[in-house]
Structure 1
């Protein structure tokens, strides 16, 4: 098949965005699919063609964003849209569709073939032509269908930018509702299934995304940027079944281009830093975190290590995770948690909110989780498919999401069976990085990659990899914030903020290893420290304590953008752990004396 020639005039770009099916049929007319060529190869040609056109500077930004949150204009059916989404339910599976259709002229008997890919809509045919559904020339192929949602907890800076050009065909606001839109239009507005979004009550978008020619099926909780053709179609599972009209208003996106989220798409305007710049950005990040944490240098170091942590499998063992419990935040009063205008997944305490909002400026995805009895007892943290359709759980989140747990709002009361189950689910994520999906006959444990930060007044009720009492200076600082004083915090300028974002993303995704000589040296040092402790009658280091120091050392090396663990990082980790142990012992003694 001959590849289509790509052009970038204004009119041609407009045609690719506003009439992509017309472009696809023109590409089809240049090839030989009807002579037996595999339609999946045609999908590759279409993908390459659109990639060439949309990769031109400023073109992709003109594509409307698929957004049902109420702030976007009405989308034009049959046009291209962009959707940064998480696969919530991949179990819709394969769908057989007519990819090549033979047309017949009812008057002359003449026949011709057209492409039927990337659409479920009825063909608008010239007069006298109709689809010959009995023709042996028709081709049927399979495509993967998944229910996709807005990425839970996606922070404002990591979202797709709005189009720079006016959206052709915009007719009014688009609301998450089954009622007609305001402004006199009677067209039904697409709806979403609330129970299929992890954070109940939060605005979001949802669509059935149809994937063509994928090398592997979409995986649950994977995050992709999809560019495809927007249609309203029929939901195959009847998520809305009140009326047939609503049943036909389900949003579908026929994906032409699918890509994973990369650091370059999150901070597209920054060049990759050189090796020397990593140290500068590490220092900048530490200084910023120290300022946010009221001058607590040790807490800033551990918070940075936590932000750099990422669960990876090494010889069937999960390493690299570092859940963190920062202790010493002021308790939230009950009056603060009684507000009804705030989402259940929003922090109420000014002190914990201070930390969460800072993190939201640095990481692409963060979810606030207040430990309020009402939320714990009424939510479902585990995804559940016992009813035949996968309903989302609060913890069904995209990889690398930051979960900020506020334990300062947990007051006296009773956790019911569901609340205890939810806490146990979170505990399992912290310790094992697995989440149970509840299916009718057999629950399935899925691997996760979630960072959990617990902010508490005393030691958390959850077991974490690492806990640290805040310094006295930091405790006073957060008490002031709780009372309405912002302290001496100096916000970062936008350029430094973007540099830290890029630094964190690049460091988190380094290919990292432990050289054999370093592993042997650490083993020897561990044996020496145990021997010396035994001779002095002191407590000997345990295997769990050794594993934590290795994790800390690993993250110290990653923070320096080293691809291998170094002995210098090991010694720095030993020093950090000694300082943490001393800090915690002093804080516990001081609290016991009160």
Structure 2
């Protein structure tokens, strides 16, 4: 299959099944074509690595993103008949297209018995929110030269003309197949192989450079948004981004059965790229009305999916499908030896030599939800953390820690919890019942994103109703790792997230964080000193530890049960909740050293850490 002209192969396959006498409505992409697409992955450009104004229309493109919303299924004319000026007929498919495909002077025969209507799923997919710059740079640098697009800039209106004019030179009038050549070029676009567009990746803008989603007094959302050349993200669409981003989202159109992806899951798709560069202002009234409630493809490009897979993570330094390769069990022990010491050393430098705080931070960085009840009311594995005493020599810890996490984690974000921010932004997404439009919420983040909540930015004043609702949303996220989708006139529906929340504050946090500890520096705060090899080792280690399976052998369970009974006899104030807390810490301690099962050393270390936190809190 030609990467730049996939519709040629798709239409040829359609013609073949029609000529073989099979019902045209039974057409699906042959397995061999699907495999060709998968095998050509590295030769297919990514929508994020090139200026999309240089991508040939109707060519194959890759897209990585997070499913942010689903729309109602779209009814389309999958198979249709056309009639020529002399009465000749032809049968076509509009699969993997936004528009039907007719030659000049031909028209669709809407009364034909060959016409078949079907539905396709539509998914709103945004660039992975809070994705750090090093991930994007690594992925772009590793893309082979064959996946770099070279060509002439697409002129406004060229894509529509190309789609409408495809196959004008086809003389096939025998009615047994399609009449378009599928090359996507048409009269409106000519490619120049001498030109190349190199997309630069600016450093990821931090909190303060761009604002998150805000809601005005009328309930409408607004964002400040930085754009890279060619991004052309219009205001009407920017509202749907959880965080500002210089990359464009996409509307995925999926054929066949329900793809089964969940909200906030990350996916990678390969599909046919549709983008009409006509500016929204150039659309006719009819076209603009037809485009509602979704922006036109010049603002929100469409990708007709041929292949889609969910991705467990977006770390380019480890295999994409860890479970299939059984990579974690063999790689984690060595990764822990290489990465844990320099990571702990770097965290010590940031918190002024406080070993307990550095250890808690390290455990926090490898935490994730590993167990969730069916109703979502209880989750295990998350380790929200409040470090307080962030003042004096530690006053710049939020900025320092944010800068450090942006170099070692795949997704992170610093949120200054100022009064204005809490009173204007929205943690939960909202969906209009009349227009089906979504106003994004800050908590719509990818799996394992790290969020620093900077309470030191809070000033004197009063929270309004929205501010209180935002604090309640953060509490829910910490307790159950869920976010509420607020539907107009229909209440809220809870959806799962898996986000690591770190609260930095001067005094104890106003949020109900399960683990709170004051920082007790013993040395000057310094910048972390890591080599490039150490940094890469830490990047891989953090995600390997998150994805590792963990077990507790039966004999170890008996030993823990006996030990905990002794602890309660010695101190009746210890409750059953303490056992859950200790087991959670023991799991993280063991994984941090590369061990996939609990032993006595891990249990003893967990008790030591928990006792040290309790002792320090009592000393306050």
CA distances 1:35-94 after superposition (whole Å, capped 9, x unpaired): 13764742755432211222xxx524xx142479xx66544322222222222211x132
CA distance in 2, matches of 1:369, 1:34: 61
Q: Deviations over 1:258-284 (max 9, x none)?
A: 222345862269995645413313333
**Which residue of structure 1 lines up, in the alignment, with residue 34 of structure 2?**
47
Deviates more, 1:386-395 or 1:449-458: 386-395
The one-character-per-residue Cα deviations of 1:203-249 (angstroms, maximum 9, x if unpaired) are: 44222211123553432222112222222479xxx999995555444
The corresponding residue for 2:240 is 196
For each residue in 1:401-439, what CA deviation from the matched residue of structure 2 results, as whole angstroms up to 9, or x when unmatched? 111111111121111121111111101111121222212
1:303-360 deviation per Cα after TM superposition (whole angstroms, max 9, x unaligned) = 1211111113256541111001112222799xxxxxxxxxxxxxxx743111011111
Following superposition of structure 1 onto structure 2, how do residues 403-552 of structure 1 map, counting pairs within 5 Å? 403-439=451-487, 440-473=489-522, 476-477=524-525, 487=526, 489-493=528-532, 495-534=533-572, 540-552=573-585
Separation in 2, partners of 1:264, 1:506 = 12
Q: How do 1:298-309 residues align onto structure 2 when only pairs under 5 Å count?
A: 298-309=356-367
CA distance, structure 1, for counterparts of residue 411 and residue 5 of structure 2: 34
Per-residue deviation, 1:574: 0.6
Please list, as runs of the form range in 1=range in 2, the aligned pairs for 1:3-42 lying within 5 A after superposition: 15-16=2-3, 18-31=4-17, 35-36=22-23, 39=26, 41-42=28-29
Distance 2:470 2:284 in 1: 32
Distance change >3 Å, CA 457–CA 498, structure 1 → 2 = same
In the alignment, the residues of structure 1 paired with residue 399 and residue 76 of structure 2 have an alpha-carbon distance, to the nearest angstrom, of 49
TM-score w.r.t. length of structure 2: 0.75
Partner of 1:484: none
Shift of 1:139: 3.2
Higher relative contact order (CA 8 A, sep 6+): 2
Instruction: State the secondary structure of the residue aligned to 1:141.
Output: strand
- 1:59 and 2:43 correspond: yes
Show the counterpart of 2:80: 101
DSSP 3-state at the match of 1:519: helix
Alpha-carbon distance in structure 1 between the residues aligned to 2:273 and 2:456: 45
RMSD over aligned Cα atoms:
3.7
2:208 is the counterpart of 1:221? no
Alignment pair present for 1:118 and 2:101: no
Query: How far does residue 192 in structure 1 lie from its aligned partner after superposition?
Result: 4.9
Partner of 1:210 in structure 2?
Answer: 253
Counting matched residue pairs gives: 523
Cα distance in 2 between the residues matched to 1:253 and 1:232: 9
Instruction: Check 1:43–1:241 CA distance in 2 against 1; reply closer, same or farther (3 A cut).
Output: farther
Give unpaired runs (5+ residues) of structure 1.
Answer: 1-5, 7-14, 334-348, 478-486, 535-539, 589-594
Rounded Cα–Cα distance in structure 1 between residues aligned with 2:228 and 2:397: 41
* Structure-1 separation of matches of 2:281 and 2:463: 32
Over 3 Å counting, the alpha-carbon distance change for 1:313 and 1:240 in structure 2 is: farther
Q: Counterpart in 1 of 2:381?
A: 320
SS of the residue 1:405 aligns to: strand
The residue that corresponds to 1:339 in the other structure is: none
Q: Paired residue for 2:191?
A: none
Query: Structure 2 unaligned runs (5+)?
Result: 156-196, 200-221
Asked if the contact 1:99–1:117 (Cα under 8 Å) also holds between the matched residues in 2, the reply is: yes
Query: Shift of residue 145 of structure 1?
Result: 0.2
Structure 2 Cα separation of the partners of residues 190 and 49 of structure 1 = 35
Separation in 1, partners of 2:463, 2:228:
43
Alpha-carbon spacing, 1:557–1:196, altered in 2? closer, same or farther (3 Å): same
Whole-Å separation in 1 of the counterparts to 2:596 and 2:448 = 20
1:221·1:397 contact (CA, 8 Å) conserved in 2? Answer: yes
Aligned in 2, Cα 1:195/1:119: closer, same or farther, shift over 3 Å? Answer: same
Alpha-carbon spacing, 1:464–1:209, altered in 2? closer, same or farther (3 Å): same
Secondary structure (helix, strand or coil) at the match of 1:455 reads strand
TM-score of the aligned structures, taking structure 1 as reference length:
0.78
Instruction: Give the whole-Å Cα distance in 2 for the aligned partners of 1:41 and 1:516.
Output: 51
The 3-state SS of whatever aligns with 2:95 is coil
Alpha-carbon contact 2:228-2:247 (below 8 Å) kept: no
